[in-house]
A and B are shown apart, each in its own frame.
Chain A
Amino acid sequence: MSTSQRTAPGTAGRPDGPGGATGGPGGVGGLVSRLQVDRRLGRMAVLLVVAFSFFAVLDPRVFLSPINLQNIMVASPEIGVLAVAMMLAMLTGGIDLSLVAIANLSAISMSMAFSALAASDPALAEQSAPLLVLLGASVGLLCGAVNGVLVSRVGITPILATLGSMQVFNGLAIVWTGGSVLYGSPAVLTAVGQSTVAGVPVLFLVFLLVAAAVAVVVNRTPVGLKIQLQGANPVAARYSGVDSRSVLTRTYLLTGLLGGIAGVLFLTRNPTASADYGASYVLLVIVIAVLGGTNPNGGFATVAGVVLATLTLQIVASGFTAIRLSSYEYAIAQGVILVAVMVSDTVRWRGRRRGRPPRTDADSATEAAVVT
């Protein structure tokens, strides 16, 4: 991928570009970016605590009830897994608008397969739960492969490629279901979705497990390092021998797989599937990823930040319900939080650089000199 392809003009360069300064996670630049990420993580943890205590104080009877706390944990996983996937796409400097469509397509395939099986042999259909989960994941992987080919082989910008594939996946789901809501999934899945271990819903544990797995991939494997390099500075990455095609293909395969897993979670939480489920998640998931410290221009993100951001927004959502504010007011809150956090990021960086004029290449050169 060439620079011109991923640098969207008008967004005027990323405010914090450690990749531009030194490149690579090692060295002083790496340390600076590390601190930056840690601070965002710290801020997110503070926000989480603040949001929680705010609503806990405001309406402790409703908000602190075990049912409400469990609801927060049951509602988080499906959004959280999608947000982690969005984070991965953003880590390479891309975006995946098709995630929710993929998740729905995966849930629909599972429900369709179950109903088809149940029509001929109900007992067999009930036993097929593991196979159905596998089916859901493979549908996600397949959709991810489509995105991967479009982005890395054909060379379409991720935002357009996934915009198109979102329409296609969503359209196929509409055609397939005829626009109606499907009912039906193995009782085992629903049972798993409702069970808890020591008071913690199994779904939430699955979410933590998935997040941990992605964190390991990003931070501890060569592929993860390449994904970070590719996002931080694609030119530097190419000169360091990173094959951007294979990195991008793998990234979108992974986001597709996570979308498929989110679809499994959809169906596990609630045995229905439809083409237009979670339409508002596309926005929400980007909001969560950015709040969690993901740099939308690529290179920097933490899974822990995204998990914290997911919980924070779920707490705000359930807190709003507890104090009887509408979902529209929640939409306002989402937007305000997103813009406020992004503005505060820029303002802090500007203060550091003592209100410098619009960013120039000369500036980054001096920065590099200062940093090293």
Chain B
Amino acid sequence: MSRFRGANNEGVLVLVLVVLVIGMSLANPAFFSVSTLFAVLRSSIVPLVLALGVLIVIISGGIDVSFAAIAVFAAYSTVLLTATDPLGLGIVGAVLCALAIGALLGLVNGVVISRFRLPTLIVTLGTQGIFRGVLLTYVGAAYVANLPGPLAALSTVDIVETTVGGRRVSLTAMVVAPVLLCLLVAWVLRRTMFGRAVYAIGGDPEAARRAGFRVARTQMVVYVVVGMMAAAGGLIFMIMGRSASPQDLVGGELDIIAAVVLGGASIFGGRGSVLGTALGVLLVQVINNSLILAGVPSAWQRTAVGLLLIVGVGVQALAARRSATTVHAHDEEGVPA
């Protein structure tokens, strides 16, 4: 049983997902279809890419609310650059350009946080305002209705195409990106020294320092990686939307953080997994899709995700409290009065 539950309750998430899918399929047979599957997958792509960055920073014991601002900054600037194209950027060039901008902005966060050891929430709140302000003041504030050639071409590539009941259903090639990134991040977290360092400083920075991890440097790299991941997410978002606006994505930060926390990552750091995060993102998207199919007005989505978050972390908190009380009782037995 405990093996099924997994280290971060992944098993429970799978169970909830399966129950939800079965329930919805019974209630509305239209739910159990390829088109729903594709719709859920499609809507999960961008949140999942962004969530992977958030996962890394949360495991390291921090939090980043500036990633949406970074995502828009990097992607929108890249679109503008590719449109005028002074450097002759191809698709590869555009992607690299976005990643570089993301890394640079992440570095700003990383330097401030690791150099001065400031609370990550407050710092990223501050830089979020700076990034957004700089983007809208100095880069551009106009809506771009048509993406430049190479990016637009990418948006029409599909990897799967089938016909369901006479209607053509397709899945965008963009879905490959989150899958690859999931595998990459999972490998980095589980198999590399950097991954161990992220878990270690998230668990206890002081212990990590004494064990020989370079805490400040790891933290800096974490924020750079988050910046790059955000840039990738932003670019994918704009490619899939076939347009670019500097107002995109902003305001959705907390939904992503909620999905990561639902996926079993501890907000105090040191705990979390890629599988859990992917399941958390899927769960939120499945619920959003179910609400629509069940005829619930989309206005309820926010409430539903909020309730889901409260129930999810509430159950964990109660469980933690119960186990803490048990340990405490043992302590008192051991200590002579």
Contact = CB atoms under 8 A, between A and B. Distances in A.
A338 B127 CA distance: 9
Interface in B179-208: 201-206
What DSSP secondary structure best describes chain B's contact surface?
helix
A280 to B, nearest CB: 9
A361 B210 CA distance: 12
Interface stretch (A154-162, A224-232, A250-258): A154-162
A156 B205 contact: no
A164 B306 contact: yes
Interface in A96-130: 97
A302 B164 CA distance: 64
A339 B113 CA distance: 10
A95 B62 CA distance: 15
B126 A339 contact: yes
Interface in A299-344: 326, 328-336, 338-339, 342-343
A160 B117 contact: no
Contacts of A328: 132-133, 136-137, 141
A30 to B, nearest CB: 24
B130 interface: yes
A342 B251 contact: no
Nearest to A339: B126
A342 B122 contact: yes
B126 A338 contact: yes
B258 A332 contact: no
A353 interface: no
A283 interface: yes
A165 B205 contact: no
B61 A11 contact: yes
A211 to B, nearest CB: 22
B5 interface: no
Given A12-B205, A157-B267, A334-B129, A358 B254 contact: no
Contact of B123 (A5, A9, A339): A339
A363 to B, nearest CB: 10
Contacts of B267: 8, 157, 159-160
Interface residues of A, number: 62
Contacts of B121: 95, 159, 286, 296
B303 interface: yes
B233 interface: no
Interface string B291-325: 00000010111111111011001100110110010
A178 interface: yes
A150 B120 CA distance: 23
B61 A8 contact: yes
Interface stretch (A48-56, A167-175, A183-191, A262-270): A167-175
Contact of A283 (B118, B125, B307): B125
B202 A332 contact: no
14 contacts: A7-B268, A9-B204, A10-B205, A10-B219, A157-B267, A160-B261, A161-B310, A166-B306, A167-B306, A171-B306, A338-B125, A338-B126, A342-B118, A359-B206
Given A155-B318, A167-B309, A339-B130, 4 more contacts: A10-B62, A164-B309, A167-B254, A328-B141
Interface of B: 60-63, 112, 116-123, 125-130, 132-134, 136-137, 141, 201-206, 209, 215-216, 219, 251, 254-255, 257-258, 261, 267-270, 297, 299-307, 309-310, 313-314, 317-318, 320-321, 324
